[in-house]
Amino acid sequence: MSSLNIRITPPETPQPDSAQRPLEKALHWHSPYDSAVRQPTVSVFFTRPAYIRVCVYTCIDTSNEVGGVLIGQWCQDQESGQQFVVVQHALPARFTRQSSVYLTFTQDTLVDLHDQLEKRFPNEKIVGWYHTHPRMGIFLSHYDTFLHKNFFPEPWQVALVIEPYSSQGGFFIRQADGSFDPTRYFGFYEMDADSSRSIVRWQNLHQDEVGPEGDKSNE
Ligand SMILES: [Zn+2]
Protein backbone atom coordinates (compact mmCIF):
# COMPACT_ATOMS: atom_id res chain seq x y z
CA MET A 1 0.00 0.00 0.00
CA SER A 2 1.46 3.35 -0.92
CA SER A 3 1.64 6.01 1.74
CA LEU A 4 -0.78 8.13 -0.31
CA ASN A 5 -3.55 5.67 0.54
CA ILE A 6 -3.11 5.95 4.29
CA ARG A 7 -5.84 7.93 5.92
CA ILE A 8 -6.18 8.85 9.51
CA THR A 9 -9.68 7.90 10.59
CA PRO A 10 -11.11 10.31 13.12
CA PRO A 11 -12.35 8.70 16.34
CA GLU A 12 -15.86 7.41 15.88
CA THR A 13 -18.40 9.97 17.05
CA PRO A 14 -21.22 8.22 18.94
CA GLN A 15 -24.64 8.59 17.38
CA PRO A 16 -28.01 8.14 19.08
CA ASP A 17 -30.08 5.07 18.23
CA SER A 18 -33.20 5.88 16.28
CA ALA A 19 -36.22 4.89 18.38
CA GLN A 20 -39.63 6.03 19.51
CA ARG A 21 -39.96 7.66 22.91
CA PRO A 22 -41.50 4.89 25.07
CA LEU A 23 -44.25 7.15 26.35
CA GLU A 24 -46.93 4.50 26.40
CA LYS A 25 -47.27 3.25 29.96
CA ALA A 26 -44.82 5.80 31.29
CA LEU A 27 -45.38 7.95 34.33
CA HIS A 28 -43.80 11.41 34.18
CA TRP A 29 -42.24 12.44 37.49
CA HIS A 30 -41.81 16.21 37.58
CA SER A 31 -39.30 18.22 39.50
CA PRO A 32 -40.45 21.46 41.18
CA TYR A 33 -37.95 23.18 38.86
CA ASP A 34 -39.44 21.83 35.62
CA SER A 35 -40.69 24.64 33.40
CA ALA A 36 -41.15 25.41 29.74
CA VAL A 37 -38.02 27.56 29.67
CA ARG A 38 -35.79 24.80 31.01
CA GLN A 39 -35.26 22.29 28.21
CA PRO A 40 -32.97 19.36 29.00
CA THR A 41 -30.86 18.01 26.12
CA VAL A 42 -32.31 14.58 26.86
CA SER A 43 -35.24 13.25 28.82
CA VAL A 44 -34.61 10.26 31.06
CA PHE A 45 -36.61 7.02 30.89
CA PHE A 46 -35.94 4.82 33.91
CA THR A 47 -36.81 1.10 33.75
CA ARG A 48 -38.24 -0.30 36.96
CA PRO A 49 -35.48 -2.93 37.46
CA ALA A 50 -32.84 -0.19 37.12
CA TYR A 51 -34.68 2.09 39.57
CA ILE A 52 -34.91 -0.74 42.12
CA ARG A 53 -31.21 -1.54 41.71
CA VAL A 54 -30.20 2.08 42.25
CA CYS A 55 -32.37 2.26 45.38
CA VAL A 56 -30.86 -0.97 46.74
CA TYR A 57 -27.27 0.09 46.00
CA THR A 58 -27.78 3.51 47.55
CA CYS A 59 -29.34 2.11 50.74
CA ILE A 60 -26.48 -0.29 51.53
CA ASP A 61 -24.31 2.42 53.10
CA THR A 62 -26.20 5.49 54.22
CA SER A 63 -23.40 6.92 56.35
CA ASN A 64 -21.10 7.49 53.37
CA GLU A 65 -21.67 8.79 49.87
CA VAL A 66 -21.92 5.90 47.41
CA GLY A 67 -22.29 5.93 43.64
CA GLY A 68 -21.95 4.22 40.31
CA VAL A 69 -22.92 4.48 36.69
CA LEU A 70 -26.18 4.25 34.78
CA ILE A 71 -26.14 1.97 31.73
CA GLY A 72 -28.53 2.01 28.79
CA GLN A 73 -29.26 3.57 25.42
CA TRP A 74 -28.99 7.05 24.02
CA CYS A 75 -31.78 7.52 21.45
CA GLN A 76 -33.41 10.07 19.19
CA ASP A 77 -37.13 10.02 18.54
CA GLN A 78 -37.82 9.38 14.85
CA GLU A 79 -40.71 11.84 14.63
CA SER A 80 -39.96 14.69 17.00
CA GLY A 81 -36.16 14.54 16.85
CA GLN A 82 -36.11 14.75 20.67
CA GLN A 83 -33.29 12.92 22.35
CA PHE A 84 -33.67 10.66 25.37
CA VAL A 85 -31.78 8.08 27.37
CA VAL A 86 -33.17 4.79 28.66
CA VAL A 87 -31.60 3.64 31.93
CA GLN A 88 -31.58 -0.17 31.81
CA HIS A 89 -28.99 -1.09 34.44
CA ALA A 90 -26.89 0.39 37.21
CA LEU A 91 -23.39 -0.62 38.20
CA PRO A 92 -22.02 0.33 41.62
CA ALA A 93 -18.58 1.90 41.46
CA ARG A 94 -15.73 0.07 43.19
CA PHE A 95 -12.32 1.44 44.21
CA THR A 96 -13.85 4.80 45.08
CA ARG A 97 -12.75 7.19 47.81
CA GLN A 98 -15.56 8.51 49.93
CA SER A 99 -16.76 9.99 53.20
CA SER A 100 -20.12 11.21 54.47
CA VAL A 101 -19.79 14.36 52.37
CA TYR A 102 -17.57 13.32 49.50
CA LEU A 103 -17.22 10.73 46.74
CA THR A 104 -14.64 10.43 44.02
CA PHE A 105 -14.03 7.94 41.26
CA THR A 106 -10.39 6.85 40.92
CA GLN A 107 -8.62 5.69 37.78
CA ASP A 108 -9.22 2.08 38.98
CA THR A 109 -12.94 2.84 39.31
CA LEU A 110 -13.16 3.97 35.71
CA VAL A 111 -11.14 1.04 34.35
CA ASP A 112 -13.31 -1.40 36.31
CA LEU A 113 -16.58 0.22 35.15
CA HIS A 114 -15.50 0.19 31.50
CA ASP A 115 -14.39 -3.47 31.85
CA GLN A 116 -17.76 -4.43 33.30
CA LEU A 117 -19.59 -2.50 30.59
CA GLU A 118 -17.65 -4.30 27.85
CA LYS A 119 -18.16 -7.74 29.37
CA ARG A 120 -21.75 -7.50 30.54
CA PHE A 121 -23.41 -4.83 28.39
CA PRO A 122 -21.34 -4.57 25.21
CA ASN A 123 -24.12 -2.93 23.21
CA GLU A 124 -25.00 -0.30 25.78
CA LYS A 125 -23.54 3.00 26.87
CA ILE A 126 -22.76 4.73 30.12
CA VAL A 127 -25.62 7.24 30.00
CA GLY A 128 -24.73 8.85 33.29
CA TRP A 129 -23.85 8.32 36.92
CA TYR A 130 -25.52 8.39 40.32
CA HIS A 131 -24.42 9.13 43.85
CA THR A 132 -25.92 9.77 47.24
CA HIS A 133 -25.99 12.81 49.50
CA PRO A 134 -26.89 11.38 52.93
CA ARG A 135 -28.65 14.07 55.00
CA MET A 136 -27.88 16.70 52.38
CA GLY A 137 -30.02 18.08 49.59
CA ILE A 138 -30.30 17.33 45.89
CA PHE A 139 -27.58 19.36 44.18
CA LEU A 140 -24.17 18.91 42.61
CA SER A 141 -21.23 20.26 44.60
CA HIS A 142 -18.35 22.02 42.87
CA TYR A 143 -16.46 18.74 42.92
CA ASP A 144 -19.48 16.77 41.58
CA THR A 145 -19.76 19.28 38.73
CA PHE A 146 -16.05 18.87 38.00
CA LEU A 147 -16.47 15.08 37.97
CA HIS A 148 -19.52 15.32 35.70
CA LYS A 149 -17.78 17.57 33.19
CA ASN A 150 -14.60 15.49 33.08
CA PHE A 151 -15.82 11.91 33.33
CA PHE A 152 -19.26 12.26 31.74
CA PRO A 153 -18.69 15.00 29.16
CA GLU A 154 -21.26 14.00 26.52
CA PRO A 155 -24.28 16.35 26.32
CA TRP A 156 -26.57 13.33 26.80
CA GLN A 157 -24.87 12.01 29.95
CA VAL A 158 -26.83 12.76 33.12
CA ALA A 159 -26.10 12.91 36.86
CA LEU A 160 -28.57 11.46 39.38
CA VAL A 161 -28.37 12.53 43.04
CA ILE A 162 -30.25 10.59 45.72
CA GLU A 163 -30.89 11.56 49.34
CA PRO A 164 -31.57 8.20 51.03
CA TYR A 165 -32.83 9.53 54.38
CA SER A 166 -35.61 11.81 53.19
CA SER A 167 -36.14 9.72 50.01
CA GLN A 168 -35.48 12.30 47.35
CA GLY A 169 -33.87 12.19 43.94
CA GLY A 170 -33.29 14.27 40.84
CA PHE A 171 -31.42 14.33 37.55
CA PHE A 172 -28.94 17.03 36.51
CA ILE A 173 -28.97 17.38 32.74
CA ARG A 174 -27.28 19.81 30.38
CA GLN A 175 -29.76 22.11 28.68
CA ALA A 176 -30.24 22.51 24.97
CA ASP A 177 -28.51 25.92 25.04
CA GLY A 178 -25.38 24.33 26.58
CA SER A 179 -25.99 25.67 30.09
CA PHE A 180 -25.81 23.44 33.16
CA ASP A 181 -27.39 24.26 36.51
CA PRO A 182 -25.96 22.25 39.44
CA THR A 183 -28.72 23.44 41.79
CA ARG A 184 -31.89 22.61 39.83
CA TYR A 185 -32.72 19.04 38.94
CA PHE A 186 -35.09 17.52 36.41
CA GLY A 187 -37.62 14.71 36.83
CA PHE A 188 -37.83 11.58 34.69
CA TYR A 189 -40.18 9.00 33.16
CA GLU A 190 -40.87 5.79 35.06
CA MET A 191 -41.37 3.08 32.43
CA ASP A 192 -44.07 0.39 32.50
CA ALA A 193 -46.00 2.18 35.21
CA ASP A 194 -49.23 4.02 35.87
CA SER A 195 -50.33 6.00 38.88
CA SER A 196 -51.86 2.93 40.54
CA ARG A 197 -48.69 0.84 40.31
CA SER A 198 -45.70 3.07 40.65
CA ILE A 199 -42.64 2.07 42.62
CA VAL A 200 -41.07 5.54 42.79
CA ARG A 201 -40.93 6.81 46.37
CA TRP A 202 -39.01 10.05 45.97
CA GLN A 203 -40.97 12.65 47.91
CA ASN A 204 -39.69 15.71 46.04
CA LEU A 205 -41.17 14.71 42.64
CA HIS A 206 -44.80 14.72 41.58
CA GLN A 207 -46.39 12.49 38.99
CA ASP A 208 -48.26 13.04 35.79
CA GLU A 209 -49.62 10.07 33.86
CA VAL A 210 -48.73 9.91 30.16
CA GLY A 211 -51.65 8.79 27.99
CA PRO A 212 -51.57 6.88 24.72
CA GLU A 213 -51.60 10.17 22.77
CA GLY A 214 -48.32 11.16 24.31
CA ASP A 215 -47.03 13.48 26.96
CA LYS A 216 -49.36 16.34 27.75
CA SER A 217 -47.07 17.90 30.29
CA ASN A 218 -44.96 19.65 27.70
CA GLU A 219 -47.86 21.27 25.94
ZN1 LIG B 1 -22.20 15.04 45.59
The Å distance, Cα 64 to ligand 1 centre, comes to: 11
pLDDT reported for residue 9: 57
Q: Measure 139 CA to ligand 1 centroid, in angstroms.
A: 7
Contact 126, 90 (CB under 8 A): no
- Fill in the DSSP letter of residue 139: -
For 155-167, what is each residue's pLDDT tens digit? Answer: 999 999 999 999 9
| Span from the CA of 91 to the centroid of ligand 1 (angstroms) | 17
Report how far ligand 1's centroid is from the alpha carbon of 144 (Å): 5
Would you state the pLDDT for residue 35? Answer: 82
Strands (DSSP E) found in 15-143: 17-19, 26-30, 42-46, 67-77, 83-92, 97-99, 102-104, 125-132
Report the separation in Å between the CA atom of 86 and the middle of ligand 1, taken as the mean of its atom positions.
23
Please state, in angstroms and rounded to a whole number, the distance separating the CA atoms of residues 98 and 82. 36
User: Measured in angstroms, how far is the CA atom of residue 147 from the centroid of ligand 1?
Assistant: 10
Taking only the tens place, the pLDDT of each residue in 86-139 is 999 999 999 988 888 888 999 999 999 999 999 999 999 999 999 999 999 999
> How many angstroms is it from 131 CA to the middle of ligand 1?
7
Please say whether the beta carbons of 54 and 86 come within 8 A.
no
- pLDDT value, residue 62: 82
How far away, in angstroms, is 171 Cα from ligand 1 center?
A: 12
pLDDT of residue 64 exceeding 90, the answer is no
pLDDT tens, residue by residue, 4-61: 555 555 567 788 999 999 988 899 999 999 887 788 999 999 999 999 999 999 888 8
Q: With cut-offs at 50, 70 and 90, classify the pLDDT of residue 3.
A: very low
Q: How big is the chain, counted in residues?
A: 219
H or E element in which residue 171 lies:
strand 168-172
In the predicted structure, residue 1 carries a pLDDT above the cut 50: no
